[in-house]
Amino acid sequence: MTRARDFDDYLRTRRAEIDAALEAALPVSPPCPALLAQAMRYSVFAGGKRLRPILTLAAAEAVVNGGSAEPEPGDAGAALAMPAACAVELIHTYSLVHDDLPAMDDDGLRRGRPTAHVVYGEGLAILAGDALLTHAFVVLARRRADEPPGFDKRRLRAVARVAEAAGTAGMVGGQVLDLEATGDEASNRRAGSAAAALREIHERKTGALIGAAAVAGAILAGGDEATVDAVDRYAAHLGLAFQIIDDILDVEGNTSVLGKTAGKDAAAGKPTYPAVHGLGPSRVLATEAVSAAREALATAGLQGRLEDIAEWVVSRSH
């Protein structure tokens, strides 16, 4: 079996495990109103790459099997990290629900089907996003009977990192900067160069949660400071590569493949890597970011699927 085929099998297996865990973790009626539970599941199970939760599990695996933490029997790293994997996917889905709203990006298509506000109305879509965000921390903070000694400290540290990534210093702050930078008058609203402003937006809006996803997995698997730092640096470069490719696909892709409206960023006057740097230089930047991600792994001797994930991110078509 080739490595590419093997990695495809890995992705399918992990997605199935994550989907099963998400289904078990999501609230149900009667504690949760039935329509709200339905709206939450509509967006969570609309498809998607599951990049962030897969990254969480892969980082935990790398720490247990190829980092400085003592190996644990079985697939212990991924098992300990699964609640965090679910949490970051719930947060990511909430962000998509809110990004698609008329007051934000005003998009009617996500993952190949109508967005939540088109199906359920704006009010319920907002509430479903709110519920996904808050429930993520219920899932992440909940204690389990099979946790190793001292796991509470790991979990608290992971909660703090994920919360920071979702909040004003991360996704929410990045969305504000994105709104400020959109439109004809953007250059008058933002200080500094266009390239620096663009990088700040995406480090917050996209990179922060990707970083938190990987770091949470490393923390929960018991990685030491040097290992967690290496995973953090890897994820920062990975997040940059992901966003550059996303911007390129918005220019070169088509709606049927992307599952969302192609060309919408340019039409809205949003700052993107192709708009600021050009398509060719943007591809070079993405390749350089993946190389830097690999180097970060090498410094800690981390093995496993993290390198494969970096290649997947930069070679994807949607």
Amino acid 78: pLDDT: 85
Whether residue 234 has pLDDT greater than 70? yes
Q: What is the Cα–Cα distance from 52 to 154, expressed in whole angstroms?
A: 19
Amino acid 65: pLDDT: 81
> Which one-letter amino acid corresponds to residue 293?
A
Nearest in space to 161 (alpha carbons), one of 240, 222, 232: 232
Q: What is the Cα–Cα distance from 260 to 254, expressed in whole angstroms?
A: 9
Amino acid 267: pLDDT: 60
Sign of dihedral through CA atoms 65, 70, 72, 73? positive
Report the percent of the chain where pLDDT is more than 70.
86
Whether residue 156 has pLDDT greater than 70? yes
Q: Of the given ranges (2-6, 61-65, 105-109, 150-154), which has the lowest mean pLDDT?
A: 2-6
Give residue 49's Cα distance to chain centre: 10
Report the percent of the chain where pLDDT is more than 90.
72
Q: Once rounded to an integer, what is the mean pLDDT over residues 258-264?
A: 58
Whether residue 146 has pLDDT greater than 90? no
pLDDT in tens, 269-304: 678 899 899 999 999 999 999 999 999 999 999 988
Amino acid 66: pLDDT: 67
Amino acid 282: pLDDT: 94
CATH number at residue 44: 1.10.600.10
Please count the structural domains in the chain. 1
Report the SS3 class of residue 113: strand
Q: What is the Cα–Cα distance from 207 to 170, expressed in whole angstroms?
A: 8
Residue 110 CB neighbour total at 10 angstroms: 24
Contact (CB, 8 A) for 66 and 303: yes
| Biggest distance spanned by C-alpha atoms of the chain | 57
Amino acid 191: pLDDT: 41
Q: What is the Cα–Cα distance from 256 to 51, expressed in whole angstroms?
A: 20
Q: 108 phi and psi, to 5 degrees? A: -100, 0
Amino acid 68: pLDDT: 44
pLDDT in tens, 185-217: 444 444 448 888 899 999 999 999 999 999 999
Whether residue 221 has pLDDT greater than 60? yes
Enumerate residues 6+ apart whose C-beta is below 8 A from 109: 115, 255, 259, 260, 261
Q: What is the Cα–Cα distance from 197 to 250, expressed in whole angstroms?
A: 19
Q: 221 phi and psi, to 5 degrees? A: -80, -5
Query: Containing domain of residue 183, as a range?
Result: 3-315
Residue 199 CB neighbour total at 10 angstroms: 18
Q: Once rounded to an integer, what is the mean pLDDT over residues 121-139?
A: 98
Amino acid 155: pLDDT: 97
Q: Once rounded to an integer, what is the mean pLDDT over residues 253-262?
A: 57
